[in-house]
Amino acid sequence: MRFRSDSEPTGTIAFAANTLPALISQHIHDSDISSCRVKAQPWEGYPHTHILPELIEAVFTRQLRRFQKLFVLEVGSFSGGSAIRMARKALELGITSDKFALACADTWLGDTNMITNVYQDGRVSSLIVPLRAPSIVTFKSLERYAVVHGMMRPAVIYLDSAHEPMETLIEISLAWNLLAEDGILFGDDYDWPAVHNDVLNFAYLRNLTVHLYKSQWLLHKREGIATPADRDLTFNSKLEVKTRVHDRVTLAKFNSSAALGEALQ
């Protein structure tokens, strides 16, 4: 897990020169063995962060008009690229910590490129609450906190985790249950087939419009929205979805985040 509080010292541990820990640390922290073409830049976190500041602004501005407090949940945070952008945007919009919290969930297990390609020092604002858990556990635990303890539900959920067929559909379904009424669920990598298909599968089941801005997808949990009784999906024995729903879902594509913001009014 890469987040640090602002008050914690940054930088690598100073091992005594020519010791074995110094050598091992040098290999792990100072060598570049990543096979990714795009490398992390200092203070910018994961180099494949796609969430766009103007989209965050459209979503946060809209939700601030509807919610007194903005509880945002991100699932799939890794080294905090998208989280830092969201926290920075909240600060830029003048939202203070009495009105804003960003919970960031991740297993922080990563994969080889992630481990080797993250930058060494993170900047974390006091707005961020890390939550080390798999996505399903995250959604179910927060659901339980909401039901049993009356914890507020997130007004915004950003999903950038599994990217696998069916797993994404389960994540979206659980995120949707947890999301507050009038909340916004959005996520990265619509151009990934698994994400694309499962967003469409879920939108079909719930008769939702999929809003698209660049590679980001967005679903709005409008108040009073009814689940159609006539929708279902069929699966084969490998749990692959057999029903083709792509041409039965309404897509709304936006070239500007302002137009997207207006459509969400």
Alpha-carbon distances of 24 from 31, 42, 79, 116, 121, rounded to whole Å: 10, 22, 22, 14, 18
Contacts of range 228-237, beta carbons closer than 8 Å, 24 or more positions apart: 231/204, 231/205, 231/206, 231/207, 232/205, 233/201, 233/204, 233/205
Segment contacting ligand SAM by CB under 6 A, of 71-79, 148-156, 192-200, 238-246: 71-79
Joined together, the tokens standing for residue 88 give: 């920075």
For ligand SAM, the closer CB: 19 or 120: 120
In this chain, which of 2, 76, 125, 186 binds ligand SAM, going by CB under 6 A? 76
Question: 47 with 113: CB under 8 angstroms?
Answer: no
Nearest distance from C-beta of residue 179 to ligand SAM, angstroms = 17
Q: How far apart are CA 144 and CA 160, in angstroms?
A: 22
For ligand SAM, the closer CB: 178 or 249: 178
**Which residue carries 């914690």 as its tokens?**
8
Please tell me the count of residues contacting ligand SAM according to CB under 6 A.
Answer: 18
Neighbours of 120 (CB within 10 A): 13
Nearest distance from C-beta of residue 256 to ligand SAM, angstroms = 22
Q: How far apart are CA 132 and CA 58, in angstroms?
A: 28
Nearest distance from C-beta of residue 90 to ligand SAM, angstroms = 16
Coil vs helix vs strand at 53: helix
Annotate each residue in 24-63 with x if it binds ligand SAM (CB under 6 A) or - if it does not, as one string: ---------------------xx--x-x------------
| Backbone φ, ψ for residue 74 (5° rounding) | -115, 130
Segment contacting ligand SAM by CB under 6 A, of 26-34, 36-44, 116-124, 155-163: 155-163
For ligand SAM, the closer CB: 121 or 182: 121
Annotate each residue in 90-119 with x if it binds ligand SAM (CB under 6 A) or - if it does not, as one string: ----------------xx-xx---------
In this chain, which of 63, 117, 125, 161 binds ligand SAM, going by CB under 6 A? 161
For ligand SAM, the closer CB: 125 or 135: 135
Segment contacting ligand SAM by CB under 6 A, of 26-34, 62-70, 95-103, 160-168: 160-168
In this structure, the dihedral spanned by the alpha carbons of residues 218, 241, 49 and 65, taken in order and rounded to 10 degrees, is 20
Q: Does 216 bind ligand SAM (CB under 6 A)?
A: no
Alpha-carbon distances of 187 from 87, 162, 258, rounded to whole Å: 16, 11, 18
Segment contacting ligand SAM by CB under 6 A, of 115-123, 159-167, 191-199, 232-240: 159-167
Residues that bind ligand SAM (CB under 6 A): 45-46, 49, 51, 76-78, 81-82, 106-107, 109-110, 134-135, 160-162
